[in-house]
């Protein structure tokens, strides 16, 4: 991740290409703050709208356009996080962050893959541990101020003095907010599993599911595993988490039996091995996994078609 010193550009006359060049940084920040690529796009667009609404004289008076853009984008995200809480209380079923593909798995096969700048904002999000699904789900438990302070400081390395101006609190208060967010992450964190090891487990999971081998599925699932699905009220799915390895296995076998033509593909989901289910060549479910002790202990299945835009529009399947 870049730092404030890398994103700021001190000059009397802002270079338009430099200002536009901040877009990648802003999309990365906004996605982590909001957990939604659609909302991140809107936040970044609003940020640039405010920049270009200023006169040339006002723009030239800003010492660091990059810092200004980051501050404005963060404040917009902070406001959106506050309103999102109310919207998600009315959401049908469980709200899961929007999953993102790894562009390196498919960029060579899509139209225009060789262009210098990607058109899809999903291509701009750097996939690291701060965007894996388990991490994003914990972020959802934070207050808006906690989330902004934690992400800006611990992920993007912004000093608390600058965060204080964004959040509207003292530097000391922002330090406490970030510390609180850090404790939430530590409390929920499970021992890291190498991606290669998780990929092998996900492959075995896929094969057992395709074979409708319930005994093998149960063996691959932690007895206390949880599966959460997000259909957003737009497609059919379970509205409450399915708990227990045996119950999850039974549910998956049931789905396999009633979903004719369902094809499972191994794909990277938010930087970790996962699965994509498609019907008639169209992605209908993206599943992210969390692994502990050599078994799957969490599954997040995103079925809301509005959250699969990065998968269906890219032609990556």
pLDDT digits (tens, 9 = 90+) for 269-283: 999 999 999 999 999
188, 205, 229 — which closes off a domain?
Answer: 188
Residue 111 banded pLDDT, cuts 50, 70, 90: very low
- What is the model's pLDDT at position 2? 45
How far apart CA 4 and CA 51 sit, in angstroms, is 18
Q: Is residue 32 part of a domain?
A: yes
Let me know whether 105 and 212 are in one domain: no
What confidence category does residue 256 fall into, taking pLDDT thresholds of 50, 70 and 90? confident
Residue 219 domain-assigned (yes or no): yes
The distance from CA 124 to its chain's CA centroid, rounded to whole angstroms, is 12
Assigned domain for 148 exists: yes
Q: 164 and 230 share a domain?
A: no
Residue 266 structural domain: 195-312
In a domain, 266, yes or no: yes
Q: Per the domain annotation, does 103 fall within a domain?
A: yes
Q: Does pLDDT of 41 surpass 70?
A: yes
d(CA 46, CA 93): 29
Q: Please tell me whether residues 183 and 250 are part of one structural domain.
A: no
Residues 173 and 287 in one domain: no
- Specify whether 223 is located in the same domain as 276: yes
Name the domain boundary from 147, 170, 188.
Answer: 188
H helical segments located in 111-244: 133-139, 144-150, 160-167, 171-188, 195-210, 214-220
Q: What is the CATH number of the domain that holds 263?
A: 3.10.450.50
The answer to whether residue 206 sits within a structural domain is yes
C-alpha span between 146 and 149 (Å, rounded): 5
Confidence (pLDDT) at 118? 56
Give pLDDT tens digits for 144-203.
999 999 999 999 999 999 999 999 999 999 999 999 999 999 998 888 788 999 999 999
Both 71 and 204 in one domain: the answer is: no
Same domain, 153 and 263: no
Task: Please write the tens of the pLDDT for every residue from 18-31.
Answer: 898 899 999 999 99
Are 169 and 286 in a shared domain? no
Q: Which residues contact 313 (CB under 8 A, 6 or more apart)?
A: 120
- What is the rounded CA–CA span in Å between residue 35 and residue 242? 23
- 183 and 155 in a common domain: yes
Nearest to 314 by CA among 274, 290, 286, 272: 286
In this structure, the answer to whether residues 212 and 85 fall within a common structural domain is: no
The answer to the question of residue 317 being in a domain is: no
Q: Are 206 and 275 in contact (CB under 8 A)?
A: yes
Residues 22 and 67 in one domain: yes
Of 172, 188, 204, the domain-final residue: 188
d(CA 89, CA 285): 23
Do both 227 and 113 map to the same domain?
A: no
**Total structural domains within the chain:** 2
């Amino acid at each position: 991740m870049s730092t404030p010193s890398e994103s700021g550009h001190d000059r009397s006359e802002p270079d338009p290409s430099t200002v536009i060049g901040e877009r990648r940084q802003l999309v990365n920040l906004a996605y982590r703050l909001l957990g939604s690529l659609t909302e991140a796009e809107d936040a970044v667009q609003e940020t640039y709208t405010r920049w270009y609404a200023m006169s040339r004289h006002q723009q030239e008076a800003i010492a660091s356009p990059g810092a200004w853009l980051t501050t404005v984008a963060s404040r917009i995200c902070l406001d959106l996080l506050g309103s999102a809480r109310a919207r998600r209380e009315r959401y049908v079923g469980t709200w899961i962050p929007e999953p993102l593909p790894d562009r390196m798995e498919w960029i060579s096969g899509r139209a225009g893959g060789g262009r210098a700048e990607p058109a899809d904002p999903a291509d701009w999000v750097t996939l690291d541990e701060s965007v894996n699904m388990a991490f994003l789900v914990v972020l959802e438990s934070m207050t808006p101020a906690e989330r902004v302070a934690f992400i800006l400081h611990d992920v993007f390395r912004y000093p608390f003095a600058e965060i204080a101006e964004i959040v509207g609190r003292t530097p000391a208060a922002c330090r406490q907010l970030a510390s609180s967010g850090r404790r939430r992450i530590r409390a929920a964190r499970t021992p890291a599993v190498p991606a290669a090891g998780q990929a092998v487990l996900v492959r075995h999971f896929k094969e057992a599911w395709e074979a409708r081998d319930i005994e093998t599925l149960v063996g691959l699932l932690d007895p206390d595993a949880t599966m959460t699905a997000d259909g957003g009220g737009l497609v059919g799915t379970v509205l409450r988490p399915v708990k227990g390895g045996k119950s999850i296995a039974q549910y998956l076998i049931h789905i396999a039996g009633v979903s004719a033509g369902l094809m499972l593909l191994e794909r990277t989901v938010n930087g970790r091995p996962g699965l994509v289910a498609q019907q008639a060549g169209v992605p209908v479910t993206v599943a992210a996994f969390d692994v502990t002790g050599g078994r799957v202990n969490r599954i997040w299945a995103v079925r809301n078609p509005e959250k699969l835009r990065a998968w269906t529009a890219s032609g990556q399947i």
